[in-house]
């Protein structure tokens, strides 16, 4: 191949040019919306202009009379199509409150962009034009766009839940030590940080196409997704069809950053309606539609409390999060902030005195979910900003590099726990890049020093 | 904490699935190597990285390695790409499948060459008897023998193919240091990122070019949170930043050059010694940038600044700090009068 810069082995460790790039850069690669699918119907989704409202009536009569329009469905029209609500794979607590979420809203809408009516037409333009002829009447409800307001339950997003709090999840290590640390602290830091919501804005918007196969009732779903395998399982479950009848393909995908780590309403609508009409159904997102109806990232308020002794060494950390779920749970919405729970000590030398509490709250905004780093950038931001503040108040001069960080003499630390580590990893193969160092942990997974205070200690994790 | 994730840890967090990854390596009778991966690239360059791993281990050219992915008909098993997991979980699965394929090939070669397995060496794509390099059998010949199955050891299944599903014993723990120098214009609130240095340790690197690309993209995404991007909703719940004119994704001209460096501490928990790097840049960048901005404004009494630190936010923060300082000064002046 002409694109390979290196000519001979070993290739590992060399700056070989990417074989993917020639077709991507010359426009040869096919993205989902580039796929030629003759005879496909085009899906367009009418979305809620209200953040929070009851749907009182839907009238599609005028839309059905528009040129090229084949069908139009409200959420109520399609309730029989689904074997269950849209998947949420991460109920972080046994009692997490998770309202049913369907590909098209049933009864109420819970964010601007929530799908209300699906239109099928012979072209994308005809489908989108027809949206303007649909008449939906709403009974508007107050919006909830502030996390403190959400957690106060002043306005309930999902009335039937009785609260906006989906869950409270805790990780506590050394309760007494932590209380003592704050009682004895020479310095304390109390900060409140806001992790603003982010939009992934992948260069390629979302797109999908469901194509019924001519034999056996099989269907192929093409989607601009990060997760064709998980998507297959979830679509099969939600549609109530056997996995053997479903093939999922992710063609060239133009970036995801977590936003395409999800199972989306449009994927399910394409599959369901393609099966119903026995014709291919395809959809491509518009940029504004994507901003409103593709999951967003971050969305947290972080309350940080640090305790430190007279030398400025950390003695305890308390973290209290409010995490914005948005209007519904998407695939792993609830779990994202918890991925940070194990990183709030950062690289610092924290004794076993730590408390993490996260409350996930519903708001009337676009659902949140994974976004590059998922929980860990938020945690790192909070501890690094807080340590910066601690340095300001505890030290008249800028701290020296390595101040309060984990002392080298206690390294390496191990987070492996024997209960979960049945096998000792084999030594790195001799054919890998650099001559690898011998693993520096002992067979037990603990460092040879007496300071086996590995943090976070996996045995402390809730089971 | 990357390489998501050990299935039993995910169980402890109540996640509904596991964190394993699957890989198949097969050597076809036409002497091409097929690698089937359950990791599903969307821009990361898996095909290149996987072909490099396979080429080195099997002594073939990377262009002879076909990487099959992102199609559940071709790769029925997989848990896909996110959480810096592709190499640290999916790549390790490929490495383990290569071990199995080579073990089987060695047994076939030993049988055909009438030699003991332990007397065979494998180098440059060929088995040879130690001490007599002329007595050799290339892997391509072994693969063809495995396909015809005319003369295999008793009880051995035909074809040269191995499938592995690997569940990591732990997360991987990449680390790094990001340092940022900024200049802030007190009059306009504009921030100029003068220098950005990122040194990351993602363990052994398969392709340093791809590693650098991941760090570049990650840093820009973190810097974008620090300085540019915010999804803004009004009180009625309307997203007011729903176009690229309102939602400020930085362009190439908005971002600094990034100096990257790396240290290499192989991960002790997997045989490739790799950790994953997709998220590293994003994790380091926002605090590095905001700490620098706060440091630049500290002499004015600024102790924190909201993200994104847009010129407007920076200017308002400076004004507020000035007001506070003036009030304090006036109070002091009043007291001394």
> Phi and psi dihedrals of B2, rounded to 5?
-130, -170
Which residue in A52, A292, A347 is closest to B175 by CB distance?
Answer: A347
For residue A98 the two structure tokens come to 């998770």
Cα–Cα distance measured from residue A51 to residue B239, given in angstroms and rounded to the nearest whole number: 9
In whole numbers, what is the pLDDT of chain B averaged over residues?
Answer: 96
pLDDT tens profile A390-436:
998 886 555 554 455 666 666 655 543 333 333 333 333 333 333 33
**Token pair recorded at residue B263:** 């240290």
Distance CA A462, CA B208 (A): 38
Of A420, A428, A462, the CB nearest to B8: A420
Nearest to B290 by CA among B278, B305, B270, B276: B305
The domain A147-198+295-394 having CATH identifier 3.30.365.10: the answer here is: yes
Tell me, what's the pLDDT at A242?
96
- Confidence (pLDDT) at B55: 97
> How near does any CA of chain A get to the CA of B337, in Å?
31
**Residue corresponding to tokens 């009516």:** A117
Of A201, A249, A258, which is closest to B247 when you measure between CB atoms? A201
The band of A347, judged by pLDDT with boundaries at 50, 70 and 90, is confident
- With 90 as the cut, is the pLDDT of residue B258 above it? yes
Pairwise pLDDT comparison (A170 vs A408), residue with the higher score: A170
The pLDDT of A16-27, averaged and rounded, is 96
Whether CATH 3.30.365.10 fits B7-166: yes
Interface of B with A in 72-101 (CB under 8 A): 72-73, 75, 77-83, 95
Q: Do A420 and B171 touch (CB under 8 A)?
A: no
CATH match for B175-327 among 3.80.30.20, 3.40.470.10, 3.40.50.880, 3.30.365.10: 3.30.365.10
Tell which residue, A10, A18, A306, A360, has the closest CA to residue A186.
A306
Q: Show the 3-state SS of chain A.
A: CCCCCCCCCCCCCCCCCCCCHHHHHCCCCCEHHHCCCCCCEEEEEEECCCCCEEEEEEECHHHHCCCCEEEEEECHHHHHHCCCCCCCCECCCCCCCCCCCCCCCCCEECCCCCEEEEEEECCHHHHHHHHCCCEEEEEECCCCCCHHHHHHCCCCCCHHHCCCEEEEEEEEECHHHHHHHHHHCCEEEEEEEEECCEECCCCCCCEEEEEECCCCCCEEEEECCCCHHHHHHHHHHHHCCCHHHEEEECCECCCCCCCCCCCCHHHHHHHHHHHHHCCCEEEECCHHHHHHHCCEECCEEEEEEEEECCCCCEEEEEEEEEEEEECCCCCCHHHHHHHHCCCCCCCECCCCCEEEEEEEEECCCCCECCCCCCCHHHHHHHHHHHHHHHHHHHCCCCCCCCCCECCHHHCCCCCCCHHHCCCCCCCCCCCCCCCCCCCCCCCCCCCCCCCCCCCCCHHHCCC
pLDDT tens-digit map of A352-391: 999 999 999 999 999 999 999 999 999 999 999 999 999 9
The Cα A273–Cα A238 span in angstroms is: 14
Q: Do B70 and A439 touch (CB under 8 A)?
A: no
* B167 in contact with A, Cβ within 8 Å: no
Q: For chain B, how are helix, strand and coil distributed in percent, rounded to 5?
A: 40, 20, 40
CA distance B66 to chain A (A): 11
Cross-strand partners of A300: A195, A323
The position carrying tokens 């810097």 is: B223
Q: How far is B84 from chain A (nearest CA, A)?
A: 8
> Whole-model pTM?
0.91
Choose the weakest-confidence range: A96-105, A359-368, A412-421, B45-54.
Answer: A412-421
**Residue B92 near residue B274, CB atoms below 8 Å:** yes
* Closest chain B residue by Cα to residue A51: B237
Contact A345, A457 (CB under 8 A): no
Q: Which residues contact A401 (CB under 8 A, 6 or more apart)?
A: none
- CB count within 10 Å of CB A312 equals 17
A219: closest chain B residue by CA: B73
What is the structure's pLDDT at A90?
A: 96
| Mean pLDDT computed over A241-252 | 97
Task: Give the minimum alpha-carbon distance from B33 to chain A in angstroms, rounded to a whole number.
Answer: 15
pLDDT band at residue B76 using 50, 70 and 90 as cut-offs: very high
pLDDT higher than threshold 50 for residue A450: no
Q: Alpha-carbon distance A321 to A193, whole Å? A: 10
Using a CB-CB distance cutoff of 8 angstroms, which residues of chain B are in contact with residue A434?
A: 204, 264, 266
pLDDT at B147 over 70: yes
Residue A272 corresponds to which tokens in the numbers above?
A: 């369901």
C-alpha span between A409 and A107 (Å, rounded): 61
**Which ranges of chain B does DSSP label H, i.e. alpha helix?**
7-12, 46-58, 92-113, 139-148, 208-227, 280-297, 311-336
SS3 B299: helix
Considering only CA atoms, which of B290, B305, B308 is closest in space to residue B232? B308
Query: In chain B, which residue's Cα lies nearest the Cα of A332?
Result: B15
Is residue B65 less than 8 Å (CB to CB) from chain A?
no
Q: How many angstroms separate the CA of residue A219 from the nearest CA in chain B? A: 12
Chain A residue numbers with beta carbons less than 8 Å from the beta carbon of B291 are 384-385, 388
Mean pLDDT for A435-442 is 36
| A102 vs B292: CA distance, rounded Å | 45
Q: What is the pLDDT of residue A251?
A: 98
β-partners of residue A405 are: A348
10 Å Cβ neighbour count for A53? Answer: 25
What average pLDDT does this structure show over B166-183? 96
Beta bridge partners of A224: none
Domain(s) of CATH 3.30.365.10: residues in chain B? 7-166, 175-327
Would you give the end-to-end CA distance of chain B in angstroms? 59
The per-residue pLDDT for A9 is: 78
Asked if A434 lies within 8 A of B204 by C-beta distance, the reply is: yes
Pick A253's closest partner by Cβ from B42, B51, B291: B42
CA distance A196 to chain B (A): 6
Question: Distances from the Cα of A90 to the Cαs of A329, A364, B39, B168, in angstroms?
Answer: 9, 20, 21, 20
| Interface confidence (ipTM) of the complex | 0.96
Contact status of B194 with chain A (Cβ, < 8 Å): no
Pick among B37, B52, B205, B317 to test the A interface (most A CBs inside 10 A): B52
Considering chain A, what percentage of its residues have pLDDT values greater than 90? 80
| pLDDT the model gives residue A121 | 98
Least confident interval from A130-134, A442-446, B228-232, B282-286? A442-446
Give dist(CA A354, CA A420) in Å, integer. 23
CB B321 within 8 A of CB B302: yes
By CB atoms closer than 10 A (0-12, 13-18, 19+), residue B7 is middle
How far, in Å, CA of B267 to CA of B274, rounded?
6
pLDDT at A463 over 80: no
pLDDT at A392: 87
């Amino acid at each position: 191949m002409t694109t390979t810069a290196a000519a001979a082995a070993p290739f590992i460790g060399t700056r070989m040019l990417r074989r993917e790039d020639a077709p991507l850069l010359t426009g040869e690669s096919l993205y989902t919306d580039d796929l030629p699918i003759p005879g496909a119907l085009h899906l367009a989704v009418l979305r809620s202009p209200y953040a929070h409202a009851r749907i009182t009536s839907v009238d599609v009569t005028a839309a059905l009379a528009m040129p090229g329009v084949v069908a139009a469905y409200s959420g109520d029209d399609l309730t029989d199509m689904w074997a269950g609500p849209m998947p949420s794979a991460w109920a972080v607590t046994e009692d997490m409150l998770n309202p049913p979420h369907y590909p098209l809203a049933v009864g109420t809408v819970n964010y601007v962009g929530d799908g209300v009516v699906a239109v099928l037409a012979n072209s994308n333009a005809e489908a989108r034009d027809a949206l303007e002829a649909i008449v939906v009447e709403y009974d508007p409800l107050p919006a909830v766009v502030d996390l403190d307001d959400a957690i106060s339950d002043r306005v309930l997003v999902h009335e039937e839940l009785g609260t906006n709090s989906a869950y409270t999840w805790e990780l506590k290590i050394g309760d007494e030590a932590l209380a003592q640390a704050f009682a004895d602290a020479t310095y304390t830091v109390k900060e409140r940080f806001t992790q603003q919501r982010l939009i992934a804005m992948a260069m390629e918007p979302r797109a999908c196409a469901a194509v019924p196969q001519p034999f056996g009732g099989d269907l192929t779903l093409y989607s601009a997704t990060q997760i064709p395998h998980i998507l297959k399982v979830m679509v099969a479950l939600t549609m109530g069809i056997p996995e053997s009848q479903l093939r999922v393909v992710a063609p060239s995908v133009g970036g995801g950053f977590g936003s395409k780590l999800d199972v989306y309403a449009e994927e399910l609508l394409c599959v369901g309606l393609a099966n119903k009409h026995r014709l291919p159904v395809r959809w491509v997102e518009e940029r504004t539609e994507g901003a409103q109806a593709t999951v967003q990232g971050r969305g947290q308020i972080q309350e940080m409390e640090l305790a430190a002794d007279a030398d400025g060494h950390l003695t305890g950390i308390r973290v209290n999060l409010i995490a914005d779920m948005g209007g519904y749970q998407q695939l792993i919405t609830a779990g994202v902030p918890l991925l940070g729970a194990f990183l709030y000590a950062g690289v610092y030398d924290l004794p076993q005195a730590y408390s993490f509490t996260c409350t996930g709250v519903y708001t009337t905004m676009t659902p949140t979910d994974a976004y590059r780093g998922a929980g860990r950038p938020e945690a790192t931001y909070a501890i690094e900003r807080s340590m910066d503040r601690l340095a300001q108040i505890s030290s008249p001069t800028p701290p020296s590099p390595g101040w309060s960080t984990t002392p080298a003499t206690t390294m390496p630390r191990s987070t492996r726990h024997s209960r979960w580590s049945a096998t000792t990893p084999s030594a790195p193969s001799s054919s890998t890049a650099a001559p690898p160092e011998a693993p520096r942990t002992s067979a037990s997974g603990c460092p040879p020093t007496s300071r086996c205070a590995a943090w976070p200690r996996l045995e402390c994790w809730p089971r | 904490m990357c390489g998501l994730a050990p299935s039993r840890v995910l169980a402890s967090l109540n996640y509904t699935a596991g964190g394993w990854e699957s890989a198949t390596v097969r050597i076809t009778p036409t002497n091409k190597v097929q690698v089937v991966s359950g990791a599903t690239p969307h821009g990361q360059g898996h095909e290149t990285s996987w072909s490099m791993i396979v080429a080195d281990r099997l002594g073939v050219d990377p262009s002879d390695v076909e990487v099959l992915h992102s199609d559940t008909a071709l790769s029925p098993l997989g848990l896909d790409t996110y959480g810096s997991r592709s190499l640290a979980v999916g790549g390790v699965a490929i490495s383990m499948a290569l071990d199995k394929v080579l073990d089987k090939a060695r047994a076939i070669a030993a049988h055909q060459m009438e030699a003991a397995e332990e007397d065979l060496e494998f180098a440059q794509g060929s088995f040879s008897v130690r001490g007599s390099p002329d007595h050799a059998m290339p892997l391509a010949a072994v693969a063809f023998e495995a396909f015809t199955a005319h003369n295999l050891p008793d009880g051995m299944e035909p074809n040269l193919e191995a499938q592995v599903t690997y569940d990591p014993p732990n997360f991987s723990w990449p680390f790094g240091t990001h340092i940022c120098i900024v200049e802030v214009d007190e009059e306009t609130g504009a921030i100029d990122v003068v220098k950005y240095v990122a040194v990351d340790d993602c363990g052994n690197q398969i392709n340093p070019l791809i590693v650098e690309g991941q760090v570049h993209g990650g840093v820009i995404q973190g810097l974008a949170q620090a300085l540019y991007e915010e999804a803004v909703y009004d009180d009625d719940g309307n997203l007011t930043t729903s176009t690229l004119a309102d939602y400020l994704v930085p362009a190439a001209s908005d971002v600094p050059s990034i100096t990257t460096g790396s240290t290499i501490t192989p991960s002790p928990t997997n045989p490739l010694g790799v950790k994953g790097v997709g998220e590293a840049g994003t994790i380091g960048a926002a605090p590095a940038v905001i700490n620098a901005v706060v440091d630049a404004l500290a002499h004015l009494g600024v102790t924190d600044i909201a993200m994104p630190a847009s010129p407007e936010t920076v200017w308002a923060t400076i004004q507020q700090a000035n007001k506070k300082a003036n009030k304090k000064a006036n109070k002091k002046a009043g007291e001394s009068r």
